[in-house]
């Protein structure tokens, strides 16, 4: 009760005034509560954004070559220990019984024989006479070595003969590569180009190697000219290699960044188990560069690659996506996404793809060309359920989606391409064939920091692709590079 004046009961007007005051106070408190609720909602929203940013930053900081598409070269000192999807085979490490080895063995006809006779008797100390003849067959010890490298100068005498009939005088034509009064031969040229393209040795160090090993004094400019000459010599073979990849039933494609003239440039690789080709130009990663490469526009087989959208425009090919990328991506999501880590769908996806990889290896040994229907049904059912789980756990949100949802959407929308390795055993589980082709090119960037000119990059890749193809076919690199300089480069078969 609100007291009135003198302890009397309050009048109506007094009560009305109190009610009006309380109502005003309630309105004030309601306004404050509304403001606090709005502020709280804003703080919650800001907190959610910050938590998402923190999660994303933690994810980025934790990315490495095992849980993302980052190259191993970016791992630095925090490089994780190597892991493998392969289970234990039960075999001991090292060479397996029955496999071919590389043990050094004696040859039947050596290049040189040097007889050795004992000078004195090991029993009494008397001198021994070799003329008396050996008492038994000698013990043979053979030494395999490279002879001392020395420059051998060959003079080509280009004679001039006069025709007895018309009197025209004709001079002999110089052999291939003999273009001046004094030139280095194909082996020196081959060695310089080989060291530059295959082993990423800087030009200045190549001049040191030639001087130290063979006494050949050349300039850095000569080494660059030698590489350009080598690239021109293998150019016909590289065109034939591209044609052979185009005709292949399955080919692998990849792209990566390298530095040219201080700027990032994208180089493209196309490869099979026996062929390798490279391309780089000013178009970067764009479809224009892939088109200029000249393989995908004509390719009608199965193209294995990553999920870069630029490949999708080449509709004459059947596409297959690299599952190694998915394994790394799912591993990263399982490590850094709280919802995925709690649910475990990313880990289950890795296990499922690992099972499928092993199933394919097993059924291939039984001469199957695809997984049997009951295995495919099991694979597809488990795959679909995992994708549904992932989409349910990671619902759509305004703006940019989480990496987990993006992966789930890609798995849903491109299921046939991801699982093509299970329905067609000619298709591999991963894109390692192409990734290995670009991996060593990245070593060139680490060694020298990049290429000074686009022409230099194209020269390097031209030689590198030819050497890679030669090695894949079990041929001797030095021999085939020399043959190319002499006008007889190795040519691939029509189909890779």
- What pLDDT, on the 0 to 100 scale, is given for residue 54? 82
Distance CA 235, CA 237 (A): 5
What average pLDDT is seen over the chain? Answer: 89
Q: Averaged over 86-96, what is the pLDDT?
A: 66
What share of the chain has pLDDT > 90, as a percent? 63
Q: Averaged over 338-351, what is the pLDDT?
A: 93
Whether the predicted pLDDT of 8 surpasses 60: yes
CB neighbours (10 Å) of residue 277?
29
- Look at phi and psi of residue 172 and say left if phi exceeds 0, alpha if psi is from -120 to 50, else beta: beta
Q: What are phi and psi of 124, to 5 degrees?
A: -105, -15
Q: Which segment of 23-27, 231-235, 291-295, 424-428 scores lowest on mean pLDDT?
A: 23-27
- What pLDDT, on the 0 to 100 scale, is given for residue 2? 53
CB neighbours (10 Å) of residue 164?
6
Distance CA 164, CA 269 (A): 58
Whether the predicted pLDDT of 493 surpasses 90: no
User: For residue 256, what is the enclosing H or E element?
Assistant: strand 250-260
Q: Which segment of 136-145, 354-363, 428-437, 441-450 scores lowest on mean pLDDT?
A: 441-450
Distance CA 136, CA 123 (A): 17
Whether the predicted pLDDT of 496 surpasses 60: no
Whether the predicted pLDDT of 299 surpasses 90: yes
Q: Which segment of 105-114, 276-285, 384-393 scores lowest on mean pLDDT?
A: 276-285
- What pLDDT, on the 0 to 100 scale, is given for residue 148? 85
Q: Averaged over 304-323, what is the pLDDT?
A: 94
Nearest to 189 by CA among 222, 238, 162: 222
Q: How confident is the model at residue 48 (pLDDT cuts 50, 70, 90)?
A: confident
Task: Pick the more confident residue, 260 or 82.
Answer: 260
- What pLDDT, on the 0 to 100 scale, is given for residue 149? 84
Q: How confident is the model at residue 61 (pLDDT cuts 50, 70, 90)?
A: confident
Q: Which residue has the tokens 């059924």?
A: 363
pLDDT digits (tens, 9 = 90+) for 170-201: 999 999 888 899 999 999 999 999 999 999 99
Q: Tell me the whole-structure pTM to 2 decimals.
A: 0.78
Largest CA distance in the chain: 156
The beta-carbon contacts of 28-36 under 8 Å, at least 24 apart in sequence, are: none
Task: Pick the more confident residue, 84 or 219.
Answer: 219
Distance CA 444, CA 463 (A): 13
Q: How confident is the model at residue 80 (pLDDT cuts 50, 70, 90)?
A: low
Whether the predicted pLDDT of 1 surpasses 60: no
Distance CA 301, CA 288 (A): 20
Q: What are phi and psi of 95, to 5 degrees?
A: -65, 135
- What pLDDT, on the 0 to 100 scale, is given for residue 159? 95
| Contact in structure between 241 and 248 (CB atoms under 8 Å) | no
Q: How confident is the model at residue 49 (pLDDT cuts 50, 70, 90)?
A: confident
Whether the predicted pLDDT of 467 surpasses 50: yes
- What pLDDT, on the 0 to 100 scale, is given for residue 194? 96
Whether the predicted pLDDT of 241 surpasses 90: yes
- What pLDDT, on the 0 to 100 scale, is given for residue 211? 93
Q: What is the DSSP string of 313-348?
A: G-TTSEEEE-HHHHHHHHHHHHHH-HHHHHH-HHHH
Q: How confident is the model at residue 350 (pLDDT cuts 50, 70, 90)?
A: very high
- What pLDDT, on the 0 to 100 scale, is given for residue 85? 46
User: For residue 268, what is the enclosing H or E element?
Assistant: strand 263-271
Pairing verdict, β 250-260 and 169-171: unpaired
Burial of 244 from C-beta contacts in 10 A (0-12 / 13-18 / 19+): buried
Q: Averaged over 327-347, what is the pLDDT?
A: 91
- What pLDDT, on the 0 to 100 scale, is given for residue 489? 95
Q: Averaged over 372-392, what is the pLDDT?
A: 96
CB neighbours (10 Å) of residue 226?
25
């Amino acid at each position: 009760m609100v007291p009135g004046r003198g302890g009397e009961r309050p009048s109506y007007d007094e009560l009305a005034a109190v009610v009006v005051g309380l109502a005003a106070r309630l309105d004030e408190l309601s306004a404050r509560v509304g403001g606090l609720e709005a502020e709280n909602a804003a703080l919650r929203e800001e907190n959610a954004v910050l938590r998402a940013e923190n999660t994303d930053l933690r994810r980025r900081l934790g990315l490495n070559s095992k849980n993302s598409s980052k190259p191993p070269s970016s791992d630095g000192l925090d490089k994780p220990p190597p892991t493998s999807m392969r289970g234990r085979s039960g075999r001991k490490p090292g060479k397996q019984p029955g496999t071919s080895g590389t043990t050094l063995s004696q040859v039947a006809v050596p290049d040189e024989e040097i007889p050795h006779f004992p000078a004195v008797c090991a029993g009494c100390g008397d001198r021994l006479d070799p003329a008396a003849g050996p008492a038994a067959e000698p013990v043979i010890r053979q030494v395999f070595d490279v002879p001392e490298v020395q420059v051998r100068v060959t003079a080509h005498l280009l004679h001039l003969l006069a025709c007895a009939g018309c009197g025209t005088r004709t001079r002999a034509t110089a052999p291939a590569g003999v273009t001046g009064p004094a030139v280095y031969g194909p082996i020196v040229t081959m060695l310089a180009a080989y060291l530059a393209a295959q082993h990423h040795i800087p030009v200045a160090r190549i001049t040191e190697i030639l001087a130290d090993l063979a006494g050949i004094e050349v300039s850095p400019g000569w080494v660059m000219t030698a590489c350009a000459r080598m690239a021109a010599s293998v150019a016909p073979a590289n065109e034939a290699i591209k044609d052979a990849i185009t005709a292949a039933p399955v080919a692998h494609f990849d792209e990566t960044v390298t530095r040219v003239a201080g700027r990032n440039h994208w180089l493209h690789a196309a490869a099979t188990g026996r062929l390798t080709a490279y391309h780089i130009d000013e178009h970067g990663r764009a479809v224009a560069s892939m088109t200029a490469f000249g393989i995908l526009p004509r390719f009608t087989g199965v193209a294995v690659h990553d999920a870069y959208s630029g490949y999708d425009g080449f509709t004459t090919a059947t596409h297959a996506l690299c599952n190694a990328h998915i394994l790394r991506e799912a591993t990263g999501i399982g490590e850094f996404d709280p919802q995925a880590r709690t649910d475990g769908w990313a880990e289950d996806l890795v296990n499922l793809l690992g099972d499928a990889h092993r199933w394919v290896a097993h059924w291939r040994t039984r001469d199957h060309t695809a997984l049997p229907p009951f295995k495919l049904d099991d694979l597809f059912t488990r795959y679909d359920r995992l994708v549904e789980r992932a989409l349910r756990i990671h619902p759509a949100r305004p703006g940019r989606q989480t990496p987990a949802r993006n992966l789930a959407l890609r798995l849903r929308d491109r299921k046939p391409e991801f699982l093509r390795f299970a329905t067609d055993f000619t298709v591999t589980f991963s894109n390692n064939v192409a990734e290995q082709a670009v991996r060593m090119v990245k070593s060139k960037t680490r060694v020298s920091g990049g290429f000074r000119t686009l022409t230099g990059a194209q020269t390097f890749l031209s030689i590198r692709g030819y050497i890679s193809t030669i090695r894949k076919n079990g041929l001797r690199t030095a021999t085939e590079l020399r043959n190319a300089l002499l006008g007889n480069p190795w040519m691939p078969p029509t189909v890779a």
